[in-house]
Amino acid sequence: EPEVTQTPSHQVTQMGQEVILRCVPISNHLYFYWYRQILGQKVEFLVSFYNNEISEKSEIFDDQFSVERPDGSNFTLKIRSTKLEDSAMYFCASRAGGSPLHFGNGTRLTVT
Amino acid sequence: AQSVTQLDSQVPVFEEAPVELRCNYSSSVSVYLFWYVQYPNQGLQLLLKYLSGSTLVKGINGFEAEFNKSQTSFHLRKPSVHISDTAEYFCAGENSGGSNYKLTFGKGTLLTVNP
């Protein structure tokens, strides 16, 4: 069965550094998402992306965050200047229209 | 705005016992409802979904859930659990009229199955 793949599985970075989290959605999917899960808390919506643009973003998704689909297969989340509170598990998800979300295994981001 | 509440943060049970994980939703519109499971160090895997039709939905690994509109609930059940069912379970909802298919998650319930 096709899968959403995320790399790396674990990323450690220093506060203030830029990070890029990478995702390869399922190939025929059209809708792409990033969610995050701070340790011990619920999974929170960050942003949705469709037709090469952001379709919705949460209040968490401030100017430090950006998303891109650079080459038709990858979907990236960039955090420009990381803060300690950005430490979380970040999940990429994709779906075809009307189907449930398929999630990747996540990238655990640790900001020190 | 939609919200999803999971009433129990942790549920410990013994192997082969039945289990029910509770989920309530609040929404002013019709919803689609989902249960996801997260095994340790893994991503979110879809267990089952309710979109429309029969209120009793069956999923993978012997789990089932019942949509109850009058009680705004979507509780997850399994008649006999295994050690391998130990995981975090998330209830999630989505407004059926939404265009972004955005999910709202509950806080999760950690199911621990003991021998």
Q: What is the pLDDT of residues A61-107, one digit of tens each?
A: 999 999 999 887 899 999 999 999 999 999 999 998 777 888 999 99
Task: Give dist(CA B91, CA B73) in Å, integer.
Answer: 10
Decide if pLDDT at B109 tops 90. Answer: yes
Decide if pLDDT at A30 tops 70. Answer: yes
Tallying the residues shown for chain A, one arrives at 112
B window 68-107, beta carbon within 8 A of A: 90, 92, 99-107
Of B32, B46, B90, whose CA–CA distance to A103 is shortest? Answer: B46
∠ CA A53-A69-B99 to the nearest 5 degrees? 40
Which pLDDT band, with edges at 50, 70 and 90, does A39 fall under? Answer: confident
pLDDT of residue B110: 96
Q: Which residues of B77-91 are buried (b: 16+ CB within 10 A; e: fewer)?
A: ebeebeeebbbbbbb
Residue type (1 letter), A24: V
- Cα distances (angstroms) measured from residue B72 to each of A44, B25, B36, B68, B103: 22, 6, 18, 6, 17
Residue B10 near chain A (CB below 8 Å): no
Q: Any idea what DSSP says for residue A27?
A: T
Greatest CA separation for chain B: 45
Q: What is the mean pLDDT of chain A?
A: 92
- Per-residue pLDDT of B47-95, as tens digits, reads 999 988 889 999 999 999 999 989 999 999 999 999 999 999 999 998 7
Q: Any idea what DSSP says for residue A79?
A: E
Dihedral (CA of A96, A8, A69, B102) sign:
positive
Contacts of A98 in chain B (CB under 8 A): 101
Q: Are B110 and B11 in contact (CB under 8 A)?
A: yes
**Could you identify the residue written with the tokens 């960050």?**
A46
Over residues A39-61, mean pLDDT: 91
How many contacts does A have with B, using Cβ atoms within 8 A? 51
Test A43 with B90 for CB contact under 8 angstroms.
yes
Q: Which domains does chain B have, with CATH numbers?
A: 3-84 (2.60.40.10)
Measured in whole angstroms, the distance separating CA A31 from the mean position of its chain's CA atoms is 13
Joined together, the tokens standing for residue A30 give 């059209």
B96: left (phi over 0), alpha (psi -120 to 50) or beta: alpha
- Residue A43 is inside which H or E element, if any? strand A43-50
Task: Give dist(CA B89, CA B2) in Å, integer.
Answer: 19
**DSSP reduced 3-state for A57:** strand
Test A45 with B104 for CB contact under 8 angstroms.
yes
The matching CATH number, chosen from 2.60.40.10, 2.30.110.10, 3.50.50.60, 3.40.50.12780, for A5-111 is 2.60.40.10
